[in-house]
C-alpha cells in the first residue's frame, strides 16, 4: 500500500460497521459520492471499475458472520479469502483464530483497503494481488490453503467461469471451500451444500433491494 492509495481510501470513505458483522469496522463508501450512487451494473456498462472494496457485499457479510459464529472451521487453519474486496471475510477469519489469512484481489486498491481495514481491527492479514485463478490446479502442487472463502464472486459471467472450476478443483483436492452468495445469476447449480441462509441488509444504492437472502454454500460437499 502506498501513501497515495491510503490517502484516497481514507478521504473517500467513512469508518462504519456492516449490519451483519458489527464486530468489524471497515472503511466504507458513504452515499455522498456520485460515483457510488450508481448501481454496480450501470458502472460495468459504462466500463468503469466499481470500487468493490468500499462496500461490504451481501455474500461477504454472510460469510464473515458464518465464520465468526463457527470459528472452529478456521481456527488454527490456513485460510484464503479470494476476491477479498474490503477484506471483511479475511478479517473475520483472523478474528476467529485462523493460523494465517491471505486476502487476494486483483484490484490494487482492494489490497490497500484490506491492509487499512486489518489494521483498524487489530488483526494480521497478508495480501496478494496475483490472479490465483491462473494458477495450476492442486494436483500439480502442494495444497496451500485448508479453507478457501469466496464472498460474492458469482455476479459476473466471465468471473464465474474462472472461479467455478478453480474453486471446484481445490475442493476436490481437500480444501474446505465456502461461498457466500445472494442468489447471483452465475452461482454454480451443482455440487453445493446449503449450510445457512441469512437475511442481509443491503444498500439500495448498490442493489435493487434493501434485504437479500444470502446463503453459505459448501462446494464439493
Question: Which residue in the set 13, 21, 86, 215 belongs to the binding site for ligand SAM (CB under 6 A)?
Answer: 86
| Number of residues assigned to the chain | 221
Q: Which three cell numbers stand for residue 166?
A: 478453480
**Which residue's Cβ has the minimum distance to ligand SAM?**
60
Question: Which residue in the set 84, 92, 95, 118 belongs to the binding site for ligand SAM (CB under 6 A)?
Answer: 84
Listed in sequence order, the residues at least 6 apart from 63 whose beta carbon sits closer than 8 Å to its beta carbon are: 89, 92, 149, 150, 151, 178, 179, 180, 216
3-state secondary structure of 211: strand
Residue 59 or 220: the one with the smaller Cβ distance to ligand SAM is 59
Q: What mask of x and - would describe binding to ligand SAM in positions 93 to 132, judged by CB under 6 A?
A: -----------xxxx--x--------------------x-
Report the distance separating Cα 1 and Cα 16, nearest Å. 21
79 binds ligand SAM (CB under 6 A): no
Q: Is 193 exposed, middle or buried (0-12, 13-18, 19+ CB in 10 A)?
A: exposed
Q: What mask of x and - would describe binding to ligand SAM in positions 26 to 55, judged by CB under 6 A?
A: --------------------------xx--
Helix 108-120 vs helix 88-95: angle between axes, to the nearest 10 degrees? 40
Alpha carbon 80 to chain centroid distance?
A: 10
Question: Which residue in the set 5, 70, 128, 133 belongs to the binding site for ligand SAM (CB under 6 A)?
Answer: 133
DSSP-H helix ranges across 16-107? 40-45, 58-69, 88-95
13 binds ligand SAM (CB under 6 A): no
18 binds ligand SAM (CB under 6 A): no
Residue 29 or 84: the one with the smaller Cβ distance to ligand SAM is 84
Which residues contact ligand SAM by CB under 6 A? 52-53, 56-57, 59-60, 82-86, 88-89, 104-107, 110, 131, 133, 151-153, 155, 159, 162
Amino acid at each position: 500500500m502506498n501513501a497515495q492509495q491510503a490517502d484516497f481510501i481514507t478521504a473517500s470513505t467513512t469508518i462504519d460497521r456492516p449490519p451483519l458483522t458489527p464486530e468489524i469496522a471497515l472503511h466504507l463508501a458513504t452515499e455522498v459520492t456520485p460515483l457510488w450512487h450508481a448501481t454496480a451494473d450501470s458502472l460495468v456498462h459504462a466500463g468503469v471499475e466499481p470500487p468493490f472494496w468500499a462496500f461490504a457485499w451481501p455474500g461477504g457479510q454472510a460469510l464473515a458472520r458464518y465464520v465468526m459464529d463457527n470459528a472452529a472451521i478456521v481456527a488454527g487453519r490456513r485460510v484464503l479469502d479470494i476476491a477479498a474486496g474490503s477484506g471483511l471475510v479475511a478479517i473475520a477469519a483472523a478474528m476467529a483464530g485462523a493460523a494465517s489469512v491471505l486476502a487476494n484481489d486483483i484490484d490494487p486498491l482492494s489490497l490497500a483497503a484490506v491492509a487499512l481495514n486489518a489494521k483498524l481491527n487489530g488483526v494480521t492479514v497478508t495480501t496478494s494481488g496475483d490472479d490465483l485463478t491462473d494458477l495450476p490446479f492442486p494436483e500439480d502442487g502442494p495444497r496451500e490453503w485448508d479453507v478457501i472463502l469466496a464472498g460474492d464472486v458469482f455476479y459476473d459471467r466471465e468471473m464465474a467461469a474462472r472461479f467455478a472450476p478453480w474453486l471446484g478443483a481445490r475442493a476436490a483436492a481437500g480444501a474446505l471451500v465456502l461461498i457466500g452468495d445472494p442468489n447471483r445469476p452465475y452461482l454454480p447449480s451443482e455440487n453445493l451444500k446449503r449450510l445457512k441462509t441469512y437475511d442481509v441488509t443491503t444498500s439500495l444504492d448498490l442493489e435493487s433491494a434493501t434485504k437479500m437472502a444470502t446463503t453459505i454454500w459448501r462446494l464439493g460437499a
